[in-house]
Chains A and B, each alone.
Chain A
Amino acid sequence: MKQTTKSLRMDMARFLPLFAALLPLTLLLGWLRVPGLEGATFQRSGINLLLFDQGILHLLPLAIAAGLALAFGLACAAKASRPLVFGMVAAFSAAIICGIYALLSAKETADASLLLPAPFMVKNLQLGFWLFLLVAVLGLILSLRALKQPTTYIVLTTMAMVWLLPIIWLVITSFRAEPGAYTTYVIPKGWTTSNYTRLFTETSQFDFPSWYRNTLFVAVITCALTTMMVLMISYTFSRLRFPSRKALMNTGLIIAMFPGFMSMIAVYHILKAIGLAKSLVSLILVYTGGGILNYTIAKGFFDTIPKSLDEAATIDGASKNMVFWRIILPSSKPIVVFTAITAFIAPWVDFIFVSVIMKDEYANYTVALGLFRMLEREHIYEYFTRFCAGAVLVAIPITLLFIRIQKFYVEGVTGGAVKG
């Protein structure tokens, strides 16, 4: 136990009971009447309003959190210890969550109480409530610091919420029973899995299963072809020295700098000229042709494989072909995985090229273009929840694959100089 008390910052911990006591006090501010502010727009506003009628339910968690904080604070005042300060962290966090809940439900409560002449706005909440939130946040920071824990947890949690909320909304909406794109509420009124099942059963207008098959087919073949060619090209540029090497690399660099969809129309006409327009084969060709120039990361990886390995093998009589297959490839498994996964993902996420190539050939759509079509004005009301379900079905495999290759993005940008 000696160790735990030692790792507490007592100078911080000493202030904690003060904050714990302030918390319930701010709640009481709602009933305080400052003479000068009396009789403004609202007779009753802010915290005390929340206590009316059904509103008591909204304030109860607030009071419980404040009470908990007070209890821990008193205990801390008697003898500060690590578990107690942890308790305070929990109590202050609960207070913040309850405070935000009260904030969000304030209008509902106020409107339900029928006591107000004008529409209630959050800004009409009384000072006491904002003080409550402020004290809770400060208390949380202080207790974390007393525990010698980084306060950046608070920032991280807030940011994580902001980043995850749209995605959570997507998942929730995919289970929503009511149709429509724009709802005035977030939590669905009814839950269902029919958005998923109908994607696969009602295929007369939007044939999701066949889009999924198309995309999978295109992705698998593109992945195989692109991986092969990218590995070939990066090995050549990394290991072989021949007269036109620099010129070819520079040409590739320059060509890749033209905006990709500038040449889309020409690509379409080339495909039409060879009789492949609107076919899945044309998609494979386009994605492969476009993917080849992304060889720099693989080349950077090959550059880091010691040349002495090749040289030793060459002395033993291996040809360059054998060096590629027996030495470079076996020691580059991670980059093969990276190349394959990036090539595999491309057909799932592109909708620009596919829309130019496929035009109205619905049977050969990929999921990206198909889902995109669901959001057109005439379909959005009926299909929005199914769009969300389809998007979830696409996003899950892509996300899993992407998490696997994330570290290569770092290495790619820093030219292979960073080893994870």
Chain B
Amino acid sequence: MSSMAVAKKRRKEKRSILKELYQTFRDGDAATRLSFLVMGFGCLRRGQIMKGLLYLAAQVLFIWFAFSFAWQHLSKIGTLGNVGMQRVWNEELQIYLRTPGDNSMLILLFSVLSILLFIGIVVLWRASIRSAYKAQNLAQAGQKLPSISDDLKALLNERFHMTMMTLPSLMVIAFTVLPTVFMVLIAFTNFDADHQPPGNMFTWVGLQNFSNLFGASALVSGTFSRILGWTMIWAVVATFTNYLFGMLLAIFINNRGIKLKSMWRTIFVITIAVPQFVSLMLMSQILHDLGPLNALLKQFGFIERSIPFLTDATSARITVLVVNLWVGIPYSMLITSGILMNIPKDLYESASIDGASPARMFFSITMPYMIFVTTPYLITAFVGNINNFNVIYLLTRGGPLVTDYYQAGKTDLLVTWLYKLTVERQNYSLASTIGIFVFVVSAGLSLIVYNASGSSRREEEFQ
């Protein structure tokens, strides 16, 4: 389905929701119409006491919440607070006391929370109207209304999806959706080290951060464009080297004559199984200027001076790419070996009868097949490499640092720069802006894959 068709369908859906509400209002009797105002009224009126009370309780709770909590935050969302922290002379104690002013961050966070809850109550409101209308129709037809135990039973059968989805959805909303929406909004504020609540307030700055990133601030945009360049080089090189060498390794292991295949595979799998913070910290120790690798090379007489694996810009970039091979090859070996075994054997047999060399067979059979099957994986891996925090941060911490970069080093990727800006520099607004940019790139690529792979269309085929 093309994206345009999806959008069209959505618009249609939206219209149908309004239409449905309108029709309900038109055809409903007094009780149903009152349900538009008092949630659960229709149910109460027709004897579905428990259900009606629950809807009513939700409405009461929401009104209480709106006045006691939501309003005091939402009313300030336009400015994100206007009363700063103040020192007030206390006559009794004869000292200045600090009175906490508006906390912009909490105002924004709780406003987002309030809006999410508001959306929730709208959904409930619609459900209550629907059930009132349904009760009206059933009553008019002279049928028995579902009792509360019928409704509970339905939750285990026809509406089982609601039972199953509630808890996971709440978790995802609380710990993923809410924070993400919050941080997206932060990108349009000036929340940085100079505007730290409590104490200082921050406010909306519109697209200032985006224009800084794309050119208005020479230092920031210069850093951004060079880090973006390196991120892309890194992602392309890391993805393809890992993929190619991983596939070669898989071919070696799957070679017909090789014995103890699972032993070989396990040897390489061990290196992915060891937690990355262990193996990569270890690598950074091994590759240190004074580390064992340099020590050994000196001891064996290969070199006289330490090789600056991680401290020189160019060699650090090469080192992270090579270490990434060490980290990534076993993983792509694991993935490609399963697919390699699926290539129809008769292709190879007929090729070898025709006298094709192994190299010829690799380039004419294996490669085309693999690239065809693994395109989605390749793009997922590419997106994964754009976001490859561990390899860079644990090895070089983005270093070597240079002064013409804004809070970044020569091996920093966009995501490690983002991390440093948040955790070390508290420049949340710029970090969020970068986060949005990374999201747009990853989402765009993934969208291409999603459409190209057609897995969305094939979904039903397996069942």
Contact = CB atoms under 8 A, between A and B. Distances in A.
B326 to A, nearest CB: 7
A122 interface: yes
A410 B335 contact: yes
A107 B109 contact: no
Most chain B CB inside 10 Å of its own CB: which residue of A110, A245, A285, A351:
A351
Interface residues of A, number: 110
Interface in B100-125: 105-106, 109-110
A166 interface: yes
Given A166-B283, A169-B292, A293-B176, A398 B274 contact: yes
Contacts of A164: 267, 270-271
B431 interface: yes
Interface in A292-321: 292-293, 303-307, 319-321
Contacts of B265: 406
Given A169-B292, A371-B278, A403-B273, A319 B172 contact: no
Interface string B164-180: 11011101101111111
Q: Is the interface of B mostly helix, strand, loop or mixed?
A: helix
Given A152-B252, A169-B286, A232 B275 contact: no
Contact of B175 (A286, A307, A387): A286
Interface residues of B, number: 104
Nearest to A185: B295
A233 B380 contact: no
Contacts of B331: 409
A20 B221 CA distance: 65
B459 A263 contact: no
A163 B326 contact: yes
Contacts of B428: 265
A85 to B, nearest CB: 15
Given A160-B267, A257-B446, A120 B301 contact: yes
B278 A391 contact: yes
Given A152-B258, A293-B176, A319-B156, A418 B342 contact: yes
* Majority DSSP secondary structure for residues of A touching B: helix
Interface of A: 103-104, 106-108, 110, 119-124, 148-150, 152-153, 155-156, 159-160, 162-164, 166-167, 169-170, 181-186, 229-230, 232-233, 235-236, 240, 242, 245, 248, 252-259, 261-267, 269-270, 273, 285-286, 288-290, 292-293, 303-307, 319-321, 324, 348-349, 351-352, 355-356, 368, 371-372, 375, 384, 387-388, 391, 394-395, 398-399, 401-403, 406-407, 409-411, 413-416, 418, 420
11 contacts: A166-B283, A236-B164, A248-B169, A289-B176, A303-B459, A351-B277, A371-B278, A395-B278, A406-B265, A409-B334, A410-B339
